Amino acid sequence: MGNKKNTVGMETAQFQEDAKFNLSGLYQALRLTVASGNNTLWVPFDDAGMCCCIRADLKQPMYIEAIYCLLIKTEDLNEGFRIDPATASRITKNYSGLPKYILDYLYKEDAFCVFEKNVKERLLTRFSNEQKEFFRQALIILVHKIPQSSDLASLANVLPPQYLPGDEVSNQLYFSRIACIMFEALKQSNVKSDPVALPALRYKPKDIERDDPYGMATMHSNSTALVIEMIDDKHASTSEELHSIDRALEFIEKKNAFILRIDCSIGRIKVFYKINADYVLRRLEKADYIRASDFLRAHLDEFRPKASWRNRSLSEMVLNGLETEVWTGYIYENKSRNLVSYIDVKIRSDGFCEIGAQLTEKPERGKHFATALINYIRLKYAYARLYTGTFEENTPMRTTLKATGFEECYFVDYANGKRTNRIQERINPLAPDDKDKMTYSVYYTVPSVISETIDGFERTSVHQ
């Protein structure tokens, strides 16, 4: 046993010094594991594009495809998921990330379930016992490369156990934790680098459509200007066409409009709005911070505090967030300058945005204030995926989130591989000191408006 472990350690030491916890690192781990056995791998495509076969004469793109296609059900695989050698090479060298249409699979509702099943069936059950241990140690090396300051550093506390033939309980944990580690690694961006200068060509290569950023060799140029169509909900036949997010926001703000719906399905941003001259939409200024905090304080009974708030009230946390400028607030107020509806948002260090508190005055509810503010945030931060959450019993807010495009988030417990969309963390007002009776949070996410527009553009272009 001692000799075998030493051998595995020596072989995994072949990792490149710059190996990171990302797709490139997974490629290195898989390639070394395959080489430590019989040099065969389940791949989604062969040279002729045929699906799902075991290959021995493996090429670099096949490893990359084998990894990211773990996100895709076997029956859904097609040649559209193939990757060219140049892109595969850039990925392995940390020069490029996954194509967006693949990344979107990471955020599907059943993403981890599909991924976990495929990791087990396509990879792990086909490895020898020695390869299973080799792959485990290779992933452990990658986990230990995660910076200690990262939230993912906690993965080091829930590493997969050694695979033990016949021990079903332990081995299920092995399969689940291997899948968890790989899933999180796929989410990490490959390190960007300045492109290497290459010799100029005197001709256009046949596959220029794949690499030409401006689409100059295609019928539909990728450089086409963004179209934002502002549509009055009462007069849908008339609209105004804009080409700038800033101009669209100015349009909404000057008219004090309510954004009722955003539709990006055909590759342009359609903003459906209605005008209500009785209200003003604007960003909170410093002079408004106390007023916003008082507004929330008057409605604290409508919120369900989290245990992590440590007895701090929501109104206190909102005031602190506004004063430190970590959070930015937006409001509708009436002609008397009374605050009617409030929302706040912060830009996170991962580039995404997070909606915090949202509240509408009781007499004004049912008039689409929450919908309008959420859609305004979606348009203002059009390049960012949004996250938010609420307590399970908050049916009106959950209904509004679904209506504005949000879907429930799913979480994975790395200790046991279980997947859930409920987090027990809210203090139960009927039993505030009983942790076992805490109620549930539900978290939501929605893709960026721009990413939805790109998807719509790509779908539309395919059919033209």
* First-to-final CA distance of the chain: 62
Contact 120, 179 (CB under 8 A): yes
The DSSP letter of residue 446 is E
Which pLDDT value is given to residue 128? 93
Q: Which residues pair with 43 in a beta bridge?
A: 53
- Residue of 244, 191, 221, 209 lying closest to 22 (CA atoms): 191
Residue type, 396: P
Q: If you write DSSP's letter for every residue of 33-62 in order, what string do you get?
A: HHHTTTS-EEEEE-TT--EEEEESS--HHH
The percent of residues in the chain predicted with pLDDT above 70, rounded, is 85
**Single pTM value for the model:** 0.61
- Residue of 321, 450, 285, 325 lying closest to 380 (CA atoms): 450
- List, in order, residues 6 or more apart from 211 with CB less than 8 Å away: 86
Contact 242, 199 (CB under 8 A): no
CB atoms within 10 A of CB 168: 8
CB atoms within 10 A of CB 399: 12
Residue 99, classed as helix, strand or coil, is: coil
Region 133-141 average pLDDT = 93
Which pLDDT value is given to residue 84? 85
Residue 98, classed as helix, strand or coil, is: coil
Q: What is the CA radius of gyration of the chain?
A: 26
Which pLDDT value is given to residue 94? 82
Sign of CA dihedral 130, 136, 139, 144: negative
Q: For strands 407-408 and 339-347, give the pairing.
A: unpaired
The DSSP letter of residue 306 is B
- Residue of 215, 341, 189, 357 lying closest to 279 (CA atoms): 341
**b/e string for 124-140 if b means 16 or more Cβ within 10 A?**
bebbeeebbbbbbbbbb
Least confident of 35-49, 111-125, 263-277, 385-399: 35-49
The 10s digit of each residue's pLDDT in 265-312 is 999 999 999 998 899 999 999 999 999 999 999 999 999 999 999 889
The 10s digit of each residue's pLDDT in 184-201 is 999 887 655 455 566 766
Contact 61, 43 (CB under 8 A): no
Which pLDDT value is given to residue 350? 84
Q: Which residues pair with 282 in a beta bridge?
A: 331
